Structure 1
Amino acid sequence: MESSYVLEVASIDTKQTENDLSFIGGQPCIPESMEIPVCQLCGAEQTFFFQIAFPQDHFWHGFSMAVFACTACAHEEYFIPEMLQEVLPGINIPKGFLETYQKNFKINIFETKEGIIRKDYKEKVEFQRWNLKPTSDSNLAHNKLGGQPNWLLDDEAPGTYMDSIPMFFLMQFMEGMKFKIVEEAPPQIILNLRGNPEPSKHRYYKLFLANYLYFFGTKDRSNPLVYVLTQI
């Protein structure tokens, strides 16, 4: 079992610095060679939502995870990540799925030491620093890294990737997570009651409809990949 950390947003307004490794919004701190991802559905640059540097006692220590998603289009079939169709839990994720299911979002894993603030990305989500606060309660129902998932419905934890690589629980977001946006950011495109895309009236973005989010990783440091699923 991985150690558990509460994802606690800093209580005071702060500005992003080169030393920030775990945070919401601002500009991503990713390798210079890593392209800002583009949505495969509409071609727009994806929005940077957050990133986390995995702590010393984590299996992926030395690595960071940066999460992007498109806010410029809305498609009924792509509001949440593609789901596996077989019976869960303990499912085997087939070869290639963890790359191909990322059509209008992108989860990048990279060596933390290679990250630099990407000035070529225009900030959309307001920067907020994350403090990783250790907790002894692995079942704590909170936005957290490690510990045990707090399933809203049935256990849907995957078992393996490619029949042989174990999967393990990375982190979760509770329902209703809202990402406040900066003044210049365009509104998120949503579907109205008629099923037509239109700009949201809210000054925040939602990641995968702000459902409960569960992130799982491959227990393979040579090729770290992520499976994310939602419950509502």
Structure 2
Amino acid sequence: MSDIVLSIQDGSASVGFLGGHPLVPKGFSPPRSGINGIEQRFMFQLFFPEWHDLSGNCLLFFFDPNNIDEHHVIPDMSTPDNYPKIVDRGVLEKQQRYHSIFIFSAQDLIVDPQIVSPLVRKNMSLVEKSEPGDRFGRLNRSPVWLLGDETPPPSTRLPTFVFQISENYLFERHPTSSPQRQIDYFSSTGVSDRNTDNYKIFVGNEIYIFAYADLIQFGAFVCVQNSE
């Protein structure tokens, strides 16, 4: 079992990084929101170690920090009561309205300086044990569930666990980036800026990411849990 712990370091990242500019294949274009067409923002990139089922590949995560749709604060179908019977391309595309996950070969990638993250650049390192407050997530062979096993349904293949992001993890916002928008029922407009120097993804839920061998080119499936 390994925890992904974030630290600000000199030199190269050991397993990935938040913020900065992603490494992408030539010709890659940033995704846009499936609802309003706004360009999603690059959040982090993870490179899988040799022992992982996805070794030789990397994962890019994009997110719309200004999503203020109260019906989509978490992805569609991301809890067991809303799971589809099977996962297919249509399910993955529908779930990725305000976020996008890309999994592709870690070979022949180039830095794209035109894609700028709203986050402070931080490198990821792997340790065997960490304090909860220091933990970005877990990169294990199987998930550590908060509320019991809620493995998502299969496609034509069984899902492969990729990794998980810790509950209530705060993504440090770059000083030049705009605050995250939030639903605010006490505001005359119904929305307001979060008065913080960070972003939350999916309102701070523990995030579990699963991939499917037959659907890898269409991203990954997300499910969430919350201990509160």
Contact 1:44 1:72 in 2 (8 A): no
Q: Distance in 1 between matches of 2:39 and 2:217?
A: 25
Question: Residue 64 of structure 1 aligns to a residue in which SS?
Answer: strand
Q: Return the structure number with greater strand share.
A: 1
The answer for the alignment partner of 2:182 in structure 1 is: 190
* 1:194-231 CA distance string (max 9 Å, x none): 48122211111111111111111113486474111111
The answer for the alignment partner of 2:26 in structure 1 is: 32
Q: Quick one: structure 1 residues 116 and 21, their matched pair in 2 at CA, closer, same or farther if it must change by over 3 Å?
A: farther
* 1:59-112 CA distance string (max 9 Å, x none): 211111000110123100111111168669996324521122211110011111
Question: Within the alignment, does 1:201 sit opposite 2:195 as a pair?
Answer: yes
The answer for the alignment partner of 2:137 in structure 1 is: 143
Question: Residue 2 of structure 2 aligns to a residue in which SS?
Answer: strand
Contact 2:20 2:117 in 1 (8 A): yes
TM-score w.r.t. structure 2 length? 0.84
Contact 1:125 1:182 in 2 (8 A): yes
- Match 2:168 to one of 164, 167, 176: 176
Contact 1:89 1:159 in 2 (8 A): yes
Q: Distance in 2 between matches of 1:126 and 1:142?
A: 14
Question: Which letter maps to 2:110?
Answer: I
Q: Quick one: structure 1 residues 116 and 202, their matched pair in 2 at CA, closer, same or farther if it must change by over 3 Å?
A: same
TM-score w.r.t. structure 1 length? 0.83
The answer for the alignment partner of 2:41 in structure 1 is: 47
Alignment length, in residue pairs?
A: 219
Question: Residue 98 of structure 1 aligns to a residue in which SS?
Answer: helix
Q: Distance in 1 between matches of 2:201 and 2:216?
A: 28
What are the ranges of 5 or more consecutive residues in structure 1 without an aligned counterpart? 136-140
Q: CA RMSD in A?
A: 2.7
Q: Return the structure number with greater helix share.
A: 2
Question: Which letter maps to 2:4?
Answer: L
Identity of aligned residues (%): 25
What are the ranges of 5 or more consecutive residues in structure 2 without an aligned counterpart? 130-134
